[in-house]
Chain A
Amino acid sequence: MKTKTLTKLSSIVATLLCIVIGLILAFVVLLVTYSATKSSSVSAITGRFSSASWGMKKILSLGLSNPSSYSEYLRRFTTLKYNIGQVLYYAMPLIMTGLSVAFAFKTGLFNIGASGQYLFGGIAAIICAGMLHLPWYVSIFAALIAGAIWGAIPGLFKAYLNINEVITCIMTNWIGLYLVNIFVYNTPAIQSLGADSSRTLTLTGDGIILSRLNLASLFAGNDNVSVGIIVAIVFAIVVWVILYKTTFGYELKACGLNKNAAKYAGINDKKNIILSMVVAGALAGVGGALYYLTGNNGAVYKTEEVLQQAGFDGISVALLGGSNPIGVIFSGLFIAFLKVGGDNLQPVYNTEIVSVITSTIIYFSAFSLFFRNLILKGRVKRDLAISNQSNILNKPPVIADIKGGEKQ
């Protein structure tokens, strides 16, 4: 088997392995946290098990399970369609922040600042859409620029002062959060968008929020589904092309794989570090725009003293997707799927359990690299032995000789 295909295959197998382990652990969490008082008819142990498996089924089937009649079936099917729409809606910003982190990973940088860049992009979009009433694509472009600027800062510090990007990223996350909060507090125009004392604001208006493309009818009237998911997938494909088809991607990956060799080859490592962070910031910024421009109840800006979770989820999405832009589409959808599925647990399990389960799986996503290396390790050793061996074989026929001898 070719090494290339093997590497790809092993990444996929490793990721699936992580998901399975994560789900098993999630099941254990369900077992442990089940509160017996809520159902008293069955014995404690069986109750625990049946309830936990009910929970797992709920998560994995997006809330759908065992319809009793045809009408019930139709009703559930409608719910399913609606929920698939929710998955797409949740996935949108996750794919973008996942791409952001994955892109930086490829250059050997850890962009933990996606949260701040996401917020900067988000507020840029809110200004464009809410105050200037610009069309959504212009707002997305503005978010891209804002994210890029905020991402450039850690890049500049890394390139010229050799300050670890993780530290500057964490700082820019908080600085970004408070800058945006101050801005929202002090801008009446923003508050007039419906902001009350808690400074919550919502966007509305045709052409200003993301175009819904009549997709709602496909998803049982779920109007969270918009052109945004298509935008996210297009960005993933563009990032893939940049990384794997262009000289820019060649340079970026060279810097990430071996900084010294890249420098030796005449690649400007400083330039690439900055550009990598600029692109990563831009991607996260677009993620923020997609989220706020959806314009429904979910997508409101609240001034909070909590960093945007989407930025950190991006790390998990990138890890789970093996830092591959196409993989990120799927891992983003998967994590969104868990979130939606988890929402249906609520009558029996506490709301918080959803986050516990998601984070268990996310935690295990960090192991995907470990598993992949484990799978590859044995293989590479053998390959090395083979190539060592073939060095001294003068002509290909000799290989055949040895192989022939082996058969006898």
Chain B
Amino acid sequence: MEENYVIEMLNITKSFPGIIANDNISLQLKKGEIHALLGENGAGKSTLMSVLFGLYQPEKGIIKKDGKEVKINDPNDATNLGIGMVHQHFKLVDIFTVLDNIILGSEPMKGGIFVDRKKARKKVMDLSEKYGLKIDPDAKVQDISVGMQQRVEILKMLYRSSDILIFDEPTAVLTPQEIDELMEIMRNFAKEGKSILFISHKLNEIMAVADRVTVLRKGKHVATVNVKNTTKEKLAEMMVGRKVSFTVDKKKAEPKDTVLKVDNLCVKSKLNKKMVNNNISFSVHAGEILCIAGIEGNGQTELAYALSGLEKVDSGHIELRGKDITNMSIRERNLVGMAHIPEDRQKYGLILDYPLSYNLVMKKYFEKKFQSAGFMKEKEIATYSDELIKQYDIRSGQGSDTMARSMSGGNQQKVIVARELDYDAPLLIAVQPTRGLDVGAIEYIHKQLIKVRDEGSAILLISLELDEVMDVSDRILVMYEGEIVGEFDPKKTNVKELGLYMAGAKRQNVEEKK
């Protein structure tokens, strides 16, 4: 061994029927480095990590730990070798306390039958303090924030003395501030001599935190480069296989008539009766993209629910195209002219066990075109669905018959985008439309939004991604604790200024600005 590698995955090949997910991929992880694994959805990142974590067995190739060949048959083997993983979707028991979740499976025992929680608590709290991973050990997981849940997952790895840490898309669920914290924590781990594998498709984060990066595309190894010697643009090109533009080309907005008018809207939380939307007033015009920025949990979700009719409002009025829709049903709102890309694509956006065609007609199945006398016109539905699949380039195994569940996240989102854009509504509410998507798909969705805007629709974009807010919007409102605290022109503001408003450090008198 000329170099000191803690983990070497050499010539790994893993195939699934009809496809090679990993084709002769090698990855070498140095001690104390942060090594990013970059690739689009479906490039083979997760498969490779699943091989390392013992979830899949490769057909070819070997894994070496500290220069010695090892066999990893299941996650227990991986844990024993000091490999820990934070999965993208957390694996926590909701009704257990934070402490119990961390020690679950390797509890210190007292007298052979009792869990020694005192000892466990001390060990966990020591680790928490040492790495600055703030947690409340007695809170139940269901009551804590996503950010804290992630810290719990990290502590789980540390508790098991892992020194090779795999982070699977860890920032997808975090707010900008939490992302910064996580980056700092990762740097500290590296300083300590732990080695980190960081799976991501967010280039900014990789540039900020990683030492080296391995790029995968279509199951093949493209390159392993030092982050210092490369640029964001080069990485993107390696990842997608073509040049990608990061800034969105768009003409100046030409706002016309008011499409949506929200007047003193108040919504109370169903859980604790706290006011989550407090006297919100704004309007969106045809031909403009109004963006609502804010840190997660400041009332944006509830605002979208109230506007789309998923939840009732407590007071105030919503007017769409001059009609009062405050108390209308969802169907009636849609018919007045509202399309909605929901925040949670699997919970609201899709029926996962329905085929693609049925998902694409979800808001149209009752129209004359698709039914007669209550019977579905299967042929028309299939034709329509095939058209949309072609037009929006939705990739699926079996075309219109594909079950939504079997599709990748990016393509699931495309299904929703296709359905909502084809609805041709004067108002489109898009909530986090690019969450969890790769660069190519984000670029695509942004272009579509602007196209719809130029065709004269009003768009209300609710987003947590400040880059997206700055790039796409024509006007920005910042929400903080259920109130609108500022209105900005994206050309005259910057991310830092928005951040101050988002964190509640500053606020404008919005009334005055009107």
> Which A residues are CB-close (under 8 A) to B355?
4
> Which B residues are CB-close (under 8 A) to A182?
none
A387 touches B411 (CB 8 A): yes
**Is A351 in the interface zone, CB < 8 Å from B?**
no
Q: Interface readout for A262-298 with B: 1 if CB under 8 Å, 0 if not?
A: 1111111000000000000000000000000000000
**Is B90 in the interface zone, CB < 8 Å from A?**
no
Distance of A247 Cα from B363 Cα, bound (Å): 12
- Mark the stretch among B30-38, B293-301, B391-399, B480-488 that contacts chain A: B391-399
> Which B residues are CB-close (under 8 A) to A392?
40-43, 217-218
Q: Check A3/B376 contact, CB under 8 A, given A258-B351, A386-B397.
A: no
**Is B88 in the interface zone, CB < 8 Å from A?**
no
Closest to B40 in A: A392
**Is B352 in the interface zone, CB < 8 Å from A?**
yes
A391 touches B358 (CB 8 A): no
A245 touches B375 (CB 8 A): yes
- Chain B nearest CB from A394 CB (Å) reads 8
> Which B residues are CB-close (under 8 A) to A3?
397-398, 401-403, 406
A265 touches B354 (CB 8 A): no
**Is B21 in the interface zone, CB < 8 Å from A?**
yes
A247 touches B16 (CB 8 A): no
> Which A residues are CB-close (under 8 A) to B406?
3, 380, 383-384, 387
> Which A residues are CB-close (under 8 A) to B44?
389
| CB < 8 Å neighbour of B331 from A268, A380, A388, A389 | A268
B47 touches A385 (CB 8 A): yes
- Mark the stretch among B78-86, B117-125, B266-274, B342-350 that contacts chain A: B342-350
**Is B407 in the interface zone, CB < 8 Å from A?**
yes
**Is A250 in the interface zone, CB < 8 Å from B?**
yes
> Which A residues are CB-close (under 8 A) to B342?
264
- Chain A nearest CB from B425 CB (Å) reads 12
> Which A residues are CB-close (under 8 A) to B42?
387-392
- Chain A nearest CB from B431 CB (Å) reads 12
Residues of B329-359 whose CB lies within 8 A of A: 329-331, 333-334, 340, 342, 347-355, 358
**Is B18 in the interface zone, CB < 8 Å from A?**
yes
- Chain A nearest CB from B419 CB (Å) reads 10
B371 touches A247 (CB 8 A): yes
Q: Check A266/B334 contact, CB under 8 A, given A257-B351, A392-B43.
A: yes
Residues of A275-331 whose CB lies within 8 A of B: none
Distance of A248 Cα from B376 Cα, bound (Å): 9
B40 touches A387 (CB 8 A): no
A387 touches B374 (CB 8 A): no
Distance of A250 Cα from B43 Cα, bound (Å): 35
Residues of A250-266 whose CB lies within 8 A of B: 250, 253-254, 257-258, 260-266
**Is A382 in the interface zone, CB < 8 Å from B?**
yes
Closest to B308 in A: A264
B218 touches A265 (CB 8 A): no
Distance of A261 Cα from B308 Cα, bound (Å): 13
Q: Interface readout for A364-408 with B: 1 if CB under 8 Å, 0 if not?
A: 000000000000000010111111111111100010001101100
**Is B104 in the interface zone, CB < 8 Å from A?**
no
**Is A192 in the interface zone, CB < 8 Å from B?**
no
B354 touches A264 (CB 8 A): no
B329 touches A268 (CB 8 A): yes
| CB < 8 Å neighbour of A246 from B334, B362, B376 | B376
- Chain A nearest CB from B218 CB (Å) reads 5
A250 touches B218 (CB 8 A): no
A257 touches B397 (CB 8 A): no
| CB < 8 Å neighbour of B402 from A247, A262, A387, A389 | A387
Q: Interface readout for B480-506 with A: 1 if CB under 8 Å, 0 if not?
A: 000000000000000000000000000
A247 touches B398 (CB 8 A): no
**Is B408 in the interface zone, CB < 8 Å from A?**
yes
> Which B residues are CB-close (under 8 A) to A246?
374-376
**Is B15 in the interface zone, CB < 8 Å from A?**
yes
Q: Check A402/B43 contact, CB under 8 A, given A245-B375, A265-B362, A387-B402.
A: no
A261 touches B47 (CB 8 A): no
> Which B residues are CB-close (under 8 A) to A383?
397, 406
| CB < 8 Å neighbour of B19 from A247, A248, A389 | A389
B47 touches A2 (CB 8 A): no
**Is B310 in the interface zone, CB < 8 Å from A?**
yes
A402 touches B20 (CB 8 A): yes
> Which A residues are CB-close (under 8 A) to B217?
392
| CB < 8 Å neighbour of B15 from A250, A261, A380, A406 | A406
| CB < 8 Å neighbour of B365 from A247, A382, A403 | A247
**Is B219 in the interface zone, CB < 8 Å from A?**
yes
Q: Check A386/B18 contact, CB under 8 A, given A258-B352, A264-B349.
A: yes
15 A-B residue pairings within 8 Å (CB atoms): A2-B398, A3-B402, A247-B376, A254-B362, A261-B347, A264-B330, A383-B406, A384-B407, A384-B408, A387-B406, A390-B396, A391-B411, A394-B241, A402-B219, A406-B15
Contacts from A to B (Cβ < 8 Å): 2-4, 245-248, 250, 253-254, 257-258, 260-268, 380, 382-394, 398, 402-403, 405-406
User: Besides A263-B348, A387-B411, A389-B21, 10 other CB < 8 A contacts?
Assistant: A245-B376, A254-B354, A260-B348, A261-B362, A265-B330, A268-B331, A386-B18, A390-B397, A392-B40, A394-B241
The 5 closest A-B pairs by CB, nearest first: A266-B331, A388-B42, A385-B16, A389-B19, A265-B362
